[in-house]
Amino acid sequence: MIIDIHAHPSDMQSAQYLAPYFQQAATDRHLLDGTPVVRGGLLISPEQYIKDMDEAGVDKTAMLNASVIPDTHIYEQYLKPYPERFIGFTGSNPLVVDGNLLNNGAFDQKNWENTRRSITELGFKGIKLLPAYGHYSPLDPRVYPFYALAAELNVPLIIHMGGTPVRHAALGFAKPIDVDRILFEFPTLRINMPHLGWPWEDELLAIMVRSPHLYTDISFIGEMGLQRVAHKLITARNFGVISRVMFGTDPLCRPLKFYIDWLRNDLNKYAVKQGEQPLTKDEIAGILGKNALKFVGVNIA
C-alpha cells in the first residue's frame, strides 16, 4: 500500500483561496527537471488527481487544508466523491486572522467548533496547524484547546515546523524544538512535523528518538534536494526512528511516480556510495505506506 501523507488541494477554487499565501513566495522555484514553477499555475482537478494517483500506484492521499480553504470545499470535492482515496486533514488557525492572514490575537472559538465538526460530522481524520504562517507560537496557551481536541478525539495532528519559501511565514515560530514541550503535555498525541523539519532535520530527528508518537514526512522532497533527503533518511534509520518517517509530496513534487521510484531504486545507491547500510525492503515499504497507516490510526477509511 502506498500512502501520500502530505498533499494539498490544487483545484481552481482552492488555488484562489491559497493565492494570497503562495503568490508571495520569496525564491524562484523549479521542478527537478529544471522547469520553472509558474506561480498559481499548478491546477489539478480532483478527477485528475485520482488519475495521477492511479498512474503512480498511490492508494490514498492525505489532503491537507492549509488554513484558508473551507473544510466543506475539501469535503465536497475530495472526501465525499472519493472516500476510499482521500484522507482529510482540517486546516485550522487557532487565532483569528486579519486581512493579511496574520493573527490578531483572539482565540478563534468558531474555528475550533468548525474543526471539531469537520472531524465528527464530515469524516476528516486529523488536524493541521501552521504556526509560522499564522505568526503564533505552538507553545501559545491559546493553541492548547486544539491539542486537547486532537487528544480527545484520538486523531493525529500535523504541525508545520520548518522552513518554507512563503514570504510572510515567520521562521521564529517554526523551529521543531518548540513542539518538544507539547509532547510532554500530550504524551499520547500522534504528531507529524513534516518535511523532515527542513532545515532543522537533525533537531527534529533527535526529538523523535525520545518521542514514540512523533512522526515526520518527506514532502517538499523535490525542493529539499534528493541527496539531502537521502542523507537524512539514513540518519533517521541510524537513529532508530525510520518506522515513523512517511512518504509525502506537496504540490510541486511531480510526477508522483518519480519520487516513489527514487525511494525504491535510488535511495540505496546513495547509501552504498556513502559506505552506509542500505535500507531494508521493509523499511522502504514502511516509508511508502505502513508508517502512515500507524500515524492516521484506526480511523482510516
CA dihedral 164, 242, 222, 9 (to 10 degrees): -70
Taking CB under 5 A as the binding criterion, the range among 30-38, 138-146, 177-185, 250-258 that sits at the site for Zn ion is: 250-258
In sequence order, which residues have a C-beta less than 8 Å from that of residue 100 and are 6 or more positions away?
168
**How many CB atoms sit inside 10 A of residue 13's CB?**
13
Closest CA to 64 of 97, 40, 93, 87: 87
Alpha helices in the chain (DSSP H): 12-22, 46-56, 71-74, 109-120, 131-134, 144-153, 180-185, 201-210, 221-224, 226-238, 256-261, 267-273, 281-285, 291-296
Please, which residue, 5 or 205, has the CB nearer to Zn ion?
A: 5
Please, which residue, 116 or 195, has the CB nearer to Zn ion?
A: 195
Please, which residue, 130 or 230, has the CB nearer to Zn ion?
A: 130
Residue with cell 518519480: 258
Whole-number minimum distance, CB 195 to Zn ion, in Å? 8
CA distance 75 to 273: 45
Whole-number minimum distance, CB 280 to Zn ion, in Å? 28
x/- string (CB under 5 A) for Zn ion, residues 198-237?
----------------------------------------
Task: Report the residue closest to Zn ion, judged by CB.
Answer: 250
Q: Are residues 251 and 18 in contact, defined by beta-carbon separation less than 8 angstroms?
A: no
Taking CB under 5 A as the binding criterion, the range among 11-19, 74-82, 112-120, 243-251 that sits at the site for Zn ion is: 243-251
Whole-number minimum distance, CB 185 to Zn ion, in Å? 25
Closest CA to 61 of 297, 299, 292: 292
**How many CB atoms sit inside 10 A of residue 243's CB?**
16
Whole-number minimum distance, CB 227 to Zn ion, in Å? 21
Task: Tell me: does residue 4 bind Zn ion (CB under 5 A).
Answer: no
Please, which residue, 201 or 250, has the CB nearer to Zn ion?
A: 250
Taking CB under 5 A as the binding criterion, the range among 101-109, 139-147, 151-159, 248-256 that sits at the site for Zn ion is: 248-256
Whole-number minimum distance, CB 128 to Zn ion, in Å? 8
Going from the C-alpha of 259 to that of each of 168, 234, 263, 278, 287, the distances in angstroms are: 29, 17, 6, 18, 12
Whole-number minimum distance, CB 160 to Zn ion, in Å? 7
Options 250, 259, 271, 279; binder of Zn ion; rule CB under 5 A: 250
Whole-number minimum distance, CB 8 to Zn ion, in Å? 6
Please, which residue, 145 or 199, has the CB nearer to Zn ion?
A: 199
Interface with Zn ion (CB under 5 A): 250
